[in-house]
A and B are shown apart, each in its own frame.
Chain A
Amino acid sequence: MDGSIALPAGRAGAAAFPGDRLRRAAESVAIPVGALVVAMVLFGVFMALTGKNPLDVYALIYRGGFGSGFAWQNTLQRAAPLILTALCVALPAQAGLIVIGGEGALVLGGLAAAVVGHAASGASPLAAQIGMALTAMFVGGAWIALAGALRHYRGVNETISSLLLTYIAIALFNHFVEGPLRDPGSLNKPSTRPIGEALMVGHLPGMDVHWGLAYGVAFCALCYVLVHYTVLGFALRIVGGNVRAARLAGLRVGWLVLVSCFLGGSAAGLAGMVEVAAVHGSANASLIAGYGYAGILVSFIARHNPIAVVPVAVLVGGIGASGGLLQRRLDLPDATVLVLQGIAFMVILAAETLYGRLRLFQPREQRR
């Protein structure tokens, strides 16, 4: 190939050699998996230091998360909101934004869904569920789009503003649930009025997992198509890659930022609707369970790839599901799972430095 012009190694398309595309794909799987293994070793050392046998701990995590049909159902049940809140990070990330306000969009979406569900108590379940889902998605989307708008029009850093918006959202949620929207019948746990058994979202056929999982997987598939196979997605990735180039190319950067934030927020809002309409039956403090924060972790491990979000969410959901078992069997605090997640997050972020530096995964032109 001497004398030829070296093509820049594009993400997937411009593979000059067969196998280069595969190498890229292998790189984006091998590095996170390798980092997870390192994180597990570090967590094992930590467990050993606290006097527990790491192998026992991992065996229990496996059993609690993936060891039985019941464990799998518990895991998938937790994975459903994680998939959706991870999209709240992954979609704005395509446009180069780090949004960490999924928790706020989730609680407000859940609150909106509970209000609509109660108001629509006479309607047919399907219509009411669609109404709840759309309202929740709109509210969640608008909330995150606010962070995007502040970023674009006022130059306010979206990471900080989305987090502040989360605290404000939780305060609003508490205000409404304990004040104007409180069900007088909910005595020791303030809740909104229940949406009623008839309107609850049911379970997937053949298993004890609610439809929220299907919503999440479908949302991910749609996002994947949107990001990788549409003009809008292409434009988003240009904005994420280089804002100045995007402006020069005449792209409407502000509009694209708003769209990506709105779509991400609507995913988190839908997660709130799922939690209300499939699990709790009304909006109450159980909604503030940290799914929004765990979703950040999921999206970063998945490198903001909408399809990779699904397996990662199942993995993180499984680790979360095993927390109870660890507590009962080994007398470990419930924060054990948080420590594992924190270590995994740090190692995976540090492993970011390896991309493009491992010879095995580079296109052959660049390896010379």
Chain B
Amino acid sequence: MDLGWWGVPVAVLGGAIRVSTPFLFVSLGECLTEKSGRINLGLEGILVMGAMSGYGVSYLTGSPWLGVLVAGVAGLLLGLLHGTICSLPRVNDIAVGIGLMLFGTGLAFFLGKPFVQPKAPTLPAIHLGDWASSPQVQSALQVNVLFIVGVALALALAWAFRNTRWGLVVRVVGDSSEAARAMGYNVDRVRVLATAAGGFLAGIGGSFLSLYYPGSWNEGLSSGQGLMAVALVIFARWQPLYCFYAALLFGGAGALGPALQSVGITSGFYLFNAAPYVLTLAIMIATCSPRRNLAGAPGELSVTR
């Protein structure tokens, strides 16, 4: 059965579900880091490193889930590096993030050279669309376990920020380091841990790219998801649940170009590729203001001051 023009929204929905998972993980990681008062622009490097290490481990051991774990650990280590360097006085977290972006992608390209050709076992999909007769709908509703984990994680983080001791500590450190210090918390240690945990999540987001969709490792795998996550968190007003909606929106925007191409609109293909970036920029222009801090922004965050 051919859906004709209806194929476009179906494909966009499918794309939103498929493409949003790395956005979701990376933005949740960034959200956690930023809640503690630091920004990690190096998530792009962590994402690529996670994609490479996940794919490599899956190829060498035959277990994609081990790959996901190793990708997370690789991200954790890079996050730890970022957090530790930023704890030195007078070191700018934005600049270190740019450095980490270069370092992470360089390291991933270097170590990932042998994995460009071979085919590694990838993560299985869960078919939620078997009731439908249309193959487009079926493929749109193929969901990966990581997507479900990501949704659960968003809910859990939203709850934890409000209701747990750890969540409150992270928020205090992010809103006022003086208050946190007065309460006896080690501000730098909390931030290092938050950055490392954020790196873990971003690494898992990277492994989704190489182990599920697109499902291979090459040097052009990431199209800046790690960077867009930074803008996405601002758009989501530092709320994990909104991160989920924003990730869906970005996934859908990214799927618009290929979907339109499949119904015969090919002119301006490259311009459609720019849709997520234009969307991000438009959102930032619409929500930022030179006169006041963004609502919901952690007080210690350097990008919003």
Contacts and interface: CB of A to CB of B under 8 A. Distances in A.
Instruction: State which size class the interface on A falls in.
Output: 35 or more
Interface stretch (A110-118, A191-199, A293-301): A293-301
Interface in B266-281: 267-271, 273-274, 277-278, 280-281
A132 to B, nearest CB: 24
Contacts, number: 142
Interface in A106-163: 150, 152-157, 159-161, 163
A160 B90 contact: no
Q: Is the interface of B mostly helix, strand, loop or mixed?
A: helix
B39 to A, nearest CB: 9
Interface in A92-112: 98, 100
Interface string B90-125: 111011101110111111011001000000000000
A164 B95 CA distance: 17
Given A154-B289, A160-B303, A175-B271, A333 B110 contact: yes
B168 interface: no
A155 B289 contact: yes
A4 to B, nearest CB: 28
Given A159-B303, A346-B85, A335 B98 contact: no
A168 B89 CA distance: 35
Instruction: State which size class the interface on B falls in.
Output: 35 or more
Contact of A168 (B100, B281, B304): B281
A27 interface: no
A171 B106 contact: no
A174 interface: yes
A155 B110 contact: no
B95 A167 contact: no
A161 B284 contact: yes
Nearest to B275: A171
Contacts of B303: 157, 159-160
Interface stretch (B10-18, B144-152, B172-180, B224-232): B224-232
A171 B281 CA distance: 14
A342 B274 contact: no
A100 B269 CA distance: 26
Given A154-B289, A157-B303, A342 B102 contact: yes
B183 interface: no
Given A157-B303, A160-B230, 10 more contacts: A100-B98, A154-B284, A154-B289, A155-B288, A164-B228, A175-B271, A333-B113, A338-B107, A342-B107, A350-B85
28 contacts: A150-B284, A155-B290, A155-B291, A156-B281, A156-B285, A159-B303, A160-B41, A161-B281, A161-B284, A163-B224, A163-B227, A164-B280, A164-B284, A168-B278, A171-B270, A171-B277, A172-B270, A174-B273, A175-B271, A179-B268, A296-B98, A339-B103, A345-B98, A346-B85, A346-B99, A346-B100, A349-B99, A355-B90
Interface of B: 41, 81, 85, 88-92, 94-96, 98-100, 102-107, 109-110, 113, 219, 224, 227-228, 230-231, 267-271, 273-274, 277-278, 280-281, 284-285, 288-291, 303-304
